[in-house]
Chain A
Amino acid sequence: MLRPNLRDDFPLLTRTVRNGKPLVYLDSGATAQKPRAVIDAEREFYELHNGAVARGAHLLAEEATDLFEGARGDVARLVGADHGEIVWAENATAALNLVAGGIGNASAGIGGEESARFRIGPGDEICVTETEHHANLVPWQQLAVRTGATLRWIPVDDDGRLILDDLDTLVNDRTRVLAFTHVSNLTGLISPVSTLVARAKQVGALTVLDGCQSVPHLPVDVKALDVDFMAFSAHKMLGPTGIGALYGRKELLDALPPAVFGGGAVTIVTMEKTSWHEAPMRFEAGTQPVAQAVGMGAAARYLMDIGMDAVEAHEREIAAILRGGAAELPGVRLLGPVGDEHARDVVAIAAVAVDGVHPHDVGQVLDDRGIAVRVGHHCAQPLHRRFGITGSTRASAHVYTTPDDARAFVDALATVPAFFGVNA
């Protein structure tokens, strides 16, 4: 059970929308609202501690550095990593590109012998899945183009579950990277991480997990999951925009060449060549988004104070109302698994297609009632295509989502077919 007054921590949730209607915010999967603790952390950083991190010889620089590195420690703790295994990145997209770009640079010979283990080329394979958000598909697709490696993918069934029958063929001795999402941003399905990681380890492939939709909603422990890399964004876990993180096993991070080059990341620079710091500094060239990092640390602490088990339990309750309610409406197709026996694999996301009504039109009717949802393809075009549609309407929750919010979504959705004169 969450604190009953928890919603009071989120100033934005008290505002009204569209002629004084209370806000029903069900778009946390796109970006979450921020608790006062996060907003205050950023403001206090600017009001009291702002200074250049790891550069100045003055008190403010020391305080700023402490806060910046302290935040790194908080984020590491949230996901069970060590301090030096968390690299700041602008968002999950940038974090994933950091890995793909680093492998691409290694393949071009950058980083010398130290990075030789990352080199890939013609004859090698990269494997992804059909459920991926474009952020965890396009960088791998383009890495394949750049290196001559082959991209393969694990398909999904009509419920959106990964089909693992051919896993041993799709992930084979030539596979160098297996990149997959922890939780689908469309179906809410939790991927079978242990099966996939076990197979990757058998063939010596690196594993890259997209934790965007899992870290904010479930207990996640990178050591227990045993993945090599994991990317996630602050703004989906109650933190600020402009910051995210990459977890990487330290020995891998210390060998992977950077994808962005510049000052602060290097030890010795001559006119001809450069040697890099160890991780995480080698990846943090240029002035970092310090206040945002401090905000992300505050978000991690806020979630740990609630307890990720409690967050998950709350969201399962919301998922049952959202998904259970939507599944029963005539003329509405719930994407992903339907039915109680599957509930354990799903977080609080409900994406629907309404027969004969375009997602934009569905979203408009909901918006008129003050209900904020996402419409469109949610950066998952291949999965929509697999489901035979071009877009959907998605409700997604977070700690502040109430059962009434979830019911408001279902009730409003029920009115949609009639509004557009479609016979359900």
Chain B
Amino acid sequence: MSSLEQMYQQVIMDHAREGHGRGLADLNLVQVGESHQVNTTCGDEIRLRVGLDGDRIESVSWEGQGCSISQASVSVLHDLVEGEDIAEAEAAMEAFRDLMQARGEELGDERDDLLGDATAFVGVGKYPARIKCAMLGWAAFKDAMIQARKDQS
């Protein structure tokens, strides 16, 4: 597999097309947080909303546009963290960040299991310029979680 093929694996192409979690959900939850992030090099934008129910992430939805890497990444994120406990989502977030810093090597520990489809992003780590694309949705998620945990309305 060439580096290019490793980067654009079928899973990634599928997620980019399908966009799981696309479309902001109207949430009737106590704790809701939202974040808007922009990739300043290309102008790509994402708005992501999370809704919490106690320690559980009840809902993750988003809208925005971007390259296939950023779109696939937020789609995978949605599948990974929606319906999970906050602690698990945080572990996945940390594992994904480490994967991006691994220069194209797999993490090679039990954390690969935490990542599910997100392991397909391993090839992105070889291209520093694209790590930002892959992280855009995750940055929005991290920020939205902070907002949600502050929200007691």
Contacts and interface: CB of A to CB of B under 8 A. Distances in A.
14 contacts: A358-B42, A358-B44, A360-B133, A361-B67, A361-B68, A365-B4, A375-B42, A376-B43, A384-B43, A390-B42, A390-B44, A390-B65, A391-B42, A391-B43
Contacts of A377: 42-43
B66 interface: yes
A419 B10 CA distance: 11
B99 interface: no
Contact of B4 (A368, A384, A390): A368
A365 B3 CA distance: 10
A144 B65 CA distance: 33
Interface centre among B3, B42, B127 (most CB of A within 10 A): B42
B27 interface: no
A299 B69 CA distance: 40
B28 interface: no
Contacts of A390: 42-44, 65
A15 B41 CA distance: 27
Interface in B16-66: 17, 41-44, 65-66
B67 A359 contact: yes
B103 to A, nearest CB: 15
Contacts of B43: 376-377, 381, 384, 390-391
A365 B68 CA distance: 12
A305 B111 CA distance: 61
A421 to B, nearest CB: 7
Contacts of B130: 360, 364
B76 interface: no
A201 interface: no
Interface in A18-72: 18-19
A185 to B, nearest CB: 15
Q: Chain B, interface size: which category?
A: 10 to 19
B69 A361 contact: yes
Interface in B64-104: 65-69
A375 B129 CA distance: 11
B69 A18 contact: no
Interface string B113-141: 00000000000000100100100000000
A390 B127 CA distance: 22
A356 B96 CA distance: 27
Nearest to A376: B42
Contacts of A361: 8, 67-69
Contacts of A365: 4
B42 A364 contact: no
A361 B72 CA distance: 12
Given A358-B68, A368-B2, A421 B13 contact: yes
B65 A360 contact: no
A375 B3 CA distance: 19
Interface of B: 2-4, 7-8, 13, 17, 41-44, 65-69, 127, 130, 133
A419 B68 CA distance: 12
Interface in A380-396: 381, 384, 390-391
B67 A420 contact: no
A364 B7 contact: yes
B42 A360 contact: yes
A391 B43 CA distance: 7
A19 to B, nearest CB: 8
Q: Which 8 pairs of residues, A with B, have the shortest CB-CB distance?
A: A358-B67, A360-B67, A368-B4, A376-B42, A390-B43, A391-B42, A377-B43, A361-B67
A364 B134 CA distance: 14
A376 B38 CA distance: 13
Nearest to B4: A368
B19 to A, nearest CB: 13
Interface in A405-424: 419-421
Contacts of A419: 8
A358 B41 CA distance: 13
Contacts of B41: 376
A364 B69 CA distance: 11
Nearest to B17: A421
A359 B8 CA distance: 15
A359 B69 contact: no
B4 to A, nearest CB: 4
A6 to B, nearest CB: 30
Contacts of A18: 3
A376 B42 CA distance: 4
B123 to A, nearest CB: 10
Given A364-B7, A364-B130, A420 B42 contact: no
